[in-house]
Amino acid sequence: MIVFVPGYDAATRANLAVVERILTASYHALTGEAATRPHLLLALASRDSPLFVMSHGQRDGFAAKGGEAALGLADLARLRRRPVFAFACHTVGELGQAAAGGGSVWWGYTGAVTAPPDSPPQLLALCSAIFAYLSDAFTASSSVERSAVLVRVAELCHEAEERVDDLLAAGADLDAGAAYLFFLHLWQRLRICEPGMVSPVMHPDAPAPILFP
């Protein structure tokens, strides 16, 4: 799997802290300073591996190191039908749906999403565990299996919210509001763009699509 995670501001450094806990030797890691557009394009050209991204995003692309463009609509042929998971704001607006039109299964987000909490360590561990699950599960091979992943992600987020409750009760110093919002966004705004589908798939309890994807 190709893992692409820059770390140049508070939000992307939080992403990087999460992903560094789940990297294994089997991953082709383009993280931190290595998360550049040239490195990504080279990896896509030389590997057929799934692509896992955590970065800033917009409707038609996501960012590389320093906020530079990493991948956009003009680059979608480079995906060569591989599955993609992109924890990046807005990326199902155009990019994910266009990628699905080219044969990829694209997991992305509608609207803005809150960055994962990277402290205290207990919260970072919770976030990393959910993304570890997603990094394995987004390559599911059928619509039924992918829908089951959406359900499981929501369950993991609810369990994490309960853990936030426990930490608060124990007097932990944390930004509870941001943590609750992150776990809510993580499952409620997750969408799957599948080839041949009219609209992206979402969790059955997720709210209707927001106005500005």
* Residue range 138-165, pLDDT digits in tens: 999 999 999 999 999 999 999 999 999 9
**Alpha-carbon span 38 to 204, nearest angstrom:** 38
Handedness of CA 157, 142, 51, 87 (dihedral sign): negative
What pTM, to 2 d.p., does this model score?
A: 0.95
**Alpha-carbon span 5 to 86, nearest angstrom:** 10
Query: Is the model's pLDDT at 75 over the cut of 70?
Result: yes
pLDDT for 13-46, tens place per residue? 999 999 999 999 999 999 999 999 999 999 999 9
For residue 172, the one-letter residue type is A
Domains of the chain, residue spans? 2-193
Supply the angle between the helices 176-188 and 121-137 in degrees, to the nearest 10: 10
- In this predicted structure, what is the pLDDT of residue 198? 84
- 3-state helix, strand, coil split of the chain in percent (to 5) is 45, 15, 40
Question: How is domain 2-193 classified at the CATH fold level?
Answer: Rossmann fold (3.40.50)
